[in-house]
């Protein structure tokens, strides 16, 4: 889109508006500075001129409604054409000044991928059906009517959830294959009781169990057919099951089994019943032993002391052969699950095989979803890094959103700085916890998701932003400027911004960030008595001076006056051939003569450009950089939140130290950096630094904070110092010390 033609008549408070928003790449002298930000127009207007009415009109159109003239009831009319063709209402997104956090319907599309979702859904339906059939069988075996109750108990024991249950089932394969089916006699509802766990964990219980097990193992040595740890009851049961399953002793085949006891005596059995009888007689001899009975009676008596364990006592009485397995409740429950799954062997195998047959494709889908997650992560990481809020945002269910059409779940984690953290629901977060400014920052997160989703959707979109930076503190205001600046680049295909503001500082900073001093695509709107709106060229952004009364007696104020003198010199005499301007520039940026400048040199420039100052005390040979370093140390050691000069001097120090680091590294590494940048030096060097060393360089994150925290230039107007005043002096000190540590 090159041109968006807008004509509005009688739309809310706008009587008449006609303007062509230019999104084309400029030609001529503005091309170099503006080409990369051709997708943005910025408009400055005082409150009450047209911004809210403009935004409401576009918002109505985006939602398929006609704008109205509520005050006078006049017939509204509008025309919005993109390159001569009516703009699709769906291509409009309006960010209102009074907006709050919203969960855009497009948030899921930021990760959603319909073809992958459909294939994933088909695969998971087959797997889930197989698992459901398995747990239905297990539920029947456990005597529990609801499958959900069975899966709940499974999850509680194995520490799984809906998303991890299948993996656990698969991991149990070898345990299920060698499961002891005697544990099918376990009543899971009885043993799955905290009172049973408490009983089995008692020292007295452990002692009685040891006595019982030692007696039992001794008797097993006397068994005719069984040997503990070699061929026990479980092995015998497996043999019997195999014989029956394979008809080994069917009448038609006449097979026989010869049992050889430990003395070498042979016993021939001809039927499965005879085999079971032979094993049962040997087993009964063991459990009828007097010593084992005494050990059992002690155990039984201990259980009987607790009326709440009566069900467990009755179950033990019927299943004395399982007592050696009662090491802990956890072991007992684990063995029981193994047996329950083995009892449903065909269904268990079917569930595992269904997964295994689709595993390769599922893994491919997961790998693809990981790639798509990066778009989410970029948005969230940008928000967490650049916006100052008391929480960290994360997306809990990214893969689910990609593949399972699940609504994204944003988690907001707070830290109290004392080792504790807490996640808070977004509704409580916005209404009860955050300040207005912090809530607005969260609103920006919604906008970021919406815009990123539209980029993924493709096509061209017009984004109208009405005072988007209102209620922001300084850092967050510049964070949104940096975000919009990144969107304004023509490489972000299809996003066209109309940024409106009543805040001249925001207007000025955004203009500088996008186009330097060019007016380019910036406009100022005025309104006449008939509510007709006129768009003017962006105009000058020069301002007037302030606070010169204290400079003669305060070193911090003296240093803070440097940007004022520089601007005054620039405004009155220009920059070409202006030694005062060049010298003050060398005090604010690392230039070739910076280290040679004395405090007396600075005082001379201040006297020359600001009349009526008495700077006798500053006519010294001390080096300017030494004084700056010394004064910064006093501020760091004894900061005053209310003192503007503290913050200005810190801002100067931050920028100077950042440039010192970048310049030092450029020289040390022989990098071809720009020695005399045409635009703001700090920003120019930062771009080059990122190009030379990559955005992953450890220093880049600190330097990026410098770009956000220090304005493009220190302004002349006292009102325009509001951004620095909004910043915490502690935050500036932290950034200054971080830059010093580079």
Instruction: Look at residue 517 in the predicted model and tell me its pLDDT.
Output: 53
- pLDDT exceeding 70 applies to what percent of the chain? 73
pLDDT for residue 645 is more than 80: yes
For residue 529, give every residue at least 6 positions away whose Cβ sits within 8 Å of its Cβ, in sequence order, or none: none
Q: What is the mean pLDDT of residues 225-244?
A: 72
Backbone phi, psi, residue 85, to 5°: -115, 135
Candidates 340, 325, 321, 218; CA nearest to 279 is 321
- Give the residue, 85 or 640, on which the prediction is more confident: 85
Q: Give the whole-angstrom CA distance, residue 446 versus residue 237.
A: 63
Q: Give the whole-angstrom CA distance, residue 431 versus residue 412.
A: 14
Q: What is the mean pLDDT of residues 188-197?
A: 73
User: What's the burial of 87, exposed, middle or buried (CB within 10 Å: 0-12/13-18/19+)?
Assistant: buried
Q: What is the 3-state secondary structure (H, E, C) of 136-165?
A: HHHHHHHCCCCHHHHHHHHHHHHCCCCCCH
Instruction: Look at residue 26 in the predicted model and tell me its pLDDT.
Output: 63
What's the pLDDT band for 589 if we cut at 50, 70, 90? Answer: very high
Ordered strands of the 85-86 beta sheet: 14-22, 3-11, 77-82, 85-86
Instruction: Look at residue 663 in the predicted model and tell me its pLDDT.
Output: 95
Instruction: Look at residue 713 in the predicted model and tell me its pLDDT.
Output: 45
Q: What is the mean pLDDT of residues 369-396?
A: 69
Instruction: Look at residue 716 in the predicted model and tell me its pLDDT.
Output: 46
What's the pLDDT band for 244 if we cut at 50, 70, 90? Answer: confident
pLDDT for residue 519 is more than 50: yes
User: How many other β-carbons are positioned within 10 Å of the β-carbon of residue 73?
Assistant: 9
Instruction: Look at residue 262 in the predicted model and tell me its pLDDT.
Output: 78
What's the pLDDT band for 292 if we cut at 50, 70, 90? Answer: low
Sole residue written with tokens 């005072």: 467
- The DSSP code sequence of 98-110 is T------GGGGGG
Instruction: Look at residue 407 in the predicted model and tell me its pLDDT.
Output: 53
Instruction: Look at residue 326 in the predicted model and tell me its pLDDT.
Output: 63
Instruction: Look at residue 80 in the predicted model and tell me its pLDDT.
Output: 95
pLDDT for residue 313 is more than 70: no
Lowest mean pLDDT among 221-230, 244-253, 328-337: 221-230
Q: Give the whole-angstrom CA distance, residue 720 versus residue 477.
A: 13
- Give the residue, 16 or 193, on which the prediction is more confident: 16
pLDDT for residue 700 is more than 80: yes
The CA R_g of the chain, rounded to the nearest whole Å, is: 39
What's the pLDDT band for 619 if we cut at 50, 70, 90? Answer: very high
- The DSSP code sequence of 541-609 is --------SSGGG-HHHHHHTHHHHHHHHHHHH-STT-HHHHHHHHHHS--TTGGG-BHHHHHHHHHHH
Beta strand extents in 232-349 (DSSP E only): 257-260, 266-269
Candidates 457, 367, 361; CA nearest to 121 is 361
What's the pLDDT band for 505 if we cut at 50, 70, 90? Answer: confident
What's the pLDDT band for 325 if we cut at 50, 70, 90? Answer: low
Q: Give the whole-angstrom CA distance, residue 688 versus residue 674.
A: 8
CA-based end-to-end distance of the chain: 44
- Give the residue, 676 or 312, on which the prediction is more confident: 676
Candidates 724, 530, 487; CA nearest to 17 is 530
Residue-wise pLDDT for 197-213, tens only, equals 676 667 766 677 666 66
Instruction: Look at residue 498 in the predicted model and tell me its pLDDT.
Output: 93
Instruction: Look at residue 78 in the predicted model and tell me its pLDDT.
Output: 94
- Give the residue, 59 or 97, on which the prediction is more confident: 59
Instruction: Look at residue 434 in the predicted model and tell me its pLDDT.
Output: 67
Question: CA–CA distance from 590 to each of 47, 571, 658, 682, 697 (Å)?
Answer: 40, 22, 9, 9, 22
What's the pLDDT band for 542 if we cut at 50, 70, 90? Answer: very low
Lowest mean pLDDT among 239-243, 379-383, 409-413: 409-413
Instruction: Look at residue 84 in the predicted model and tell me its pLDDT.
Output: 93
For residue 200, give every residue at least 6 positions away whose Cβ sits within 8 Å of its Cβ, in sequence order, or none: 326, 327, 328, 329, 332
- Give the residue, 519 or 701, on which the prediction is more confident: 701
pLDDT for residue 544 is more than 50: no
pLDDT for residue 557 is more than 80: yes
Lowest mean pLDDT among 5-19, 135-149, 524-538: 524-538
Instruction: Look at residue 580 in the predicted model and tell me its pLDDT.
Output: 94
- Give the residue, 523 or 367, on which the prediction is more confident: 523
Instruction: Look at residue 692 in the predicted model and tell me its pLDDT.
Output: 94
Instruction: Look at residue 404 in the predicted model and tell me its pLDDT.
Output: 52
pLDDT for residue 490 is more than 60: no
- The DSSP code sequence of 2-38 is -EEEEEEEEETTEEEEEEEEE-SPP-GGGHHHHGGGT
Lowest mean pLDDT among 73-82, 433-442, 510-519, 535-544: 535-544
- Give the residue, 673 or 72, on which the prediction is more confident: 673
pTM score: 0.45
Question: CA–CA distance from 318 to each of 283, 287, 340 (Å)?
Answer: 14, 12, 19
Instruction: Look at residue 539 in the predicted model and tell me its pLDDT.
Output: 59
Q: What is the mean pLDDT of residues 501-519?
A: 74
Read off the DSSP letter of residue 617: G
Candidates 677, 670, 735; CA nearest to 706 is 735
CB 605 within 8 A of CB 584: yes
Residue-wise pLDDT for 656-691, tens only, equals 999 999 999 999 999 999 998 877 889 899 999 999
3-class DSSP assignment, residue 392: strand
Strand-strand pairing, 410-415 and 421-424: antiparallel
What's the pLDDT band for 333 if we cut at 50, 70, 90? Answer: confident
What length is written for the chain?
Answer: 742
Strand-strand pairing, 495-501 and 40-44: parallel
Candidates 22, 33, 6; CA nearest to 511 is 33
Instruction: Look at residue 637 in the predicted model and tell me its pLDDT.
Output: 93
Q: Give the whole-angstrom CA distance, residue 147 versus residue 137.
A: 9
Mean of per-residue pLDDT scores for the chain: 79
- Give the residue, 98 or 631, on which the prediction is more confident: 631
Q: Which residues are paired to 93 by β-bridges?
A: 463
């Amino acid at each position: 889109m090159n041109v968006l033609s807008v004509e509005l008549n009688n739309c809310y408070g706008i009587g008449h508006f006609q303007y062509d928003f230019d999104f084309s790449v400029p030609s001529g002298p503005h091309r170099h500075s503006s080409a990369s930000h051709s997708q943005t127009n910025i408009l400055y207007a005082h409150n009450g001129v047209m911004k809210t009415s403009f935004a409401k009109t576009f918002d109505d159109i985006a939602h398929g409604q006609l704008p109205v003239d509520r005050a006078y009831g006049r017939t509204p009319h509008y025309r919005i054409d993109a390159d001569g063709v009516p703009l699709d209402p769906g291509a409009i997104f309006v960010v209102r000044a009074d907006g709050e956090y919203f969960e855009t319907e497009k948030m899921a599309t930021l990760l959603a991928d319909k073809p992958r979702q459909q294939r994933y859904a088909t695969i998971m339906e087959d797997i889930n059906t197989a698992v459901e059939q398995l747990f239905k069988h297990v539920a029947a075996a456990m005597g529990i009517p609801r499958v959900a109750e069975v899966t709940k108990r499974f999850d509680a024991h194995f520490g799984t959830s809906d998303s991890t249950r299948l993996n656990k089932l698969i991991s149990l394969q070898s345990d299920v294959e060698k499961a002891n089916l005697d544990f099918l006699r376990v009543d899971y509802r009885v043993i799955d009781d905290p009172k049973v766990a408490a009983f089995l964990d008692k020292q007295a219980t452990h002692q009685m169990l040891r006595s019982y097990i030692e007696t039992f193992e001794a008797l097993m040595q006397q068994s005719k057919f069984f040997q503990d740890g070699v061929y026990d009851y479980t092995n015998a049961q497996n043999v019997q099951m195999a014989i029956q399953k394979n008809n080994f002793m069917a009448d038609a085949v006449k097979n026989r089994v010869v049992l050889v006891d430990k003395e070498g005596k042979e016993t021939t059995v001809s039927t499965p019943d005879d085999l079971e009888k032979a094993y049962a007689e040997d087993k009964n001899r063991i459990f009828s032993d007097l010593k084992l009975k005494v050990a059992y009676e002690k155990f039984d008596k201990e259980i009987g002391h607790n009326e709440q364990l009566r069900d467990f006592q009755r179950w033990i009485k019927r299943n004395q052969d399982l007592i050696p397995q009662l090491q802990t409740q956890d072991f007992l429950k684990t063995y029981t699950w193994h047996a329950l799954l083995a009892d449903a062997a065909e269904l268990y195998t079917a569930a595992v095989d269904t997964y295994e047959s689709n595993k390769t494709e599922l893994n491919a889908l997961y790998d693809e979803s990981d790639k798509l997650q990066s778009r989410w992560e970029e948005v969230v990481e940008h928000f967490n890094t650049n916006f100052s809020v008391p929480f960290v945002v994360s997306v809990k269910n990214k893969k689910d959103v990609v593949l399972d059409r699940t609504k994204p779940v944003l988690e907001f984690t707070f830290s109290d700085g004392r080792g504790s953290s807490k996640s808070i629901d977004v509704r409580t977060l916005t209404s009860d916890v955050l300040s207005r400014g912090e809530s607005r920052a969260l609103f920006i997160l919604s906008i970021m998701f919406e815009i990123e989703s539209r980029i993924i959707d493709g096509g061209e979109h017009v984004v109208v932003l009405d005072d988007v930076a209102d209620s922001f503190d300084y850092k967050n205001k510049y964070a949104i400027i940096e975000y919009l600046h990144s969107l304004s680049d023509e490489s972000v295909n299809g996003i066209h911004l109309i940024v409106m503001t009543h805040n001249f500082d925001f207007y000025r900073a955004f203009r500088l960030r996008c186009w330097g001093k060019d007016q380019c695509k910036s406009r100022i709107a005025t309104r006449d008595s008939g509510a007709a709106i006129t768009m003017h060229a962006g105009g000058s952004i020069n301002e007037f001076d302030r606070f010169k009364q204290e400079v003669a007696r305060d070193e911090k104020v003296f240093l803070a006056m440097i940007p004022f003198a520089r601007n005054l010199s620039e405004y009155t005499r220009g920059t070409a051939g202006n030694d005062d301007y060049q010298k003050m520039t060398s005090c604010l940026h690392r230039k070739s003569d910076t280290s040679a400048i004395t405090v007396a040199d600075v005082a001379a420039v201040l006297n020359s450009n600001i009349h009526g100052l008495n700077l006798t005390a500053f006519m010294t040979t001390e080096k300017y950089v030494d004084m700056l370093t010394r004064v910064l140390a006093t501020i760091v050691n004894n900061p005053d939140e209310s003192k503007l000069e503290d913050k200005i001097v810190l801002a100067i120090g931050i920028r100077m130290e950042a440039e010192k680091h970048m310049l030092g590294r450029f020289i040390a590494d022989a990098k071809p950096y720009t020695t005399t940048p045409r635009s703001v030096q700090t920003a120019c060097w930062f771009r080059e630094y990122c190009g030379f060393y990559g955005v992953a360089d450890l220093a880049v994150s600190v330097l990026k904070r410098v770009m956000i925290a220090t304005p493009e230039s220190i302004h002349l107007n006292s009102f325009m110092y509001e951004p620095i005043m909004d910043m915490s002096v502690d935050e500036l000190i932290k950034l200054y010390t971080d830059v010093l540590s580079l």
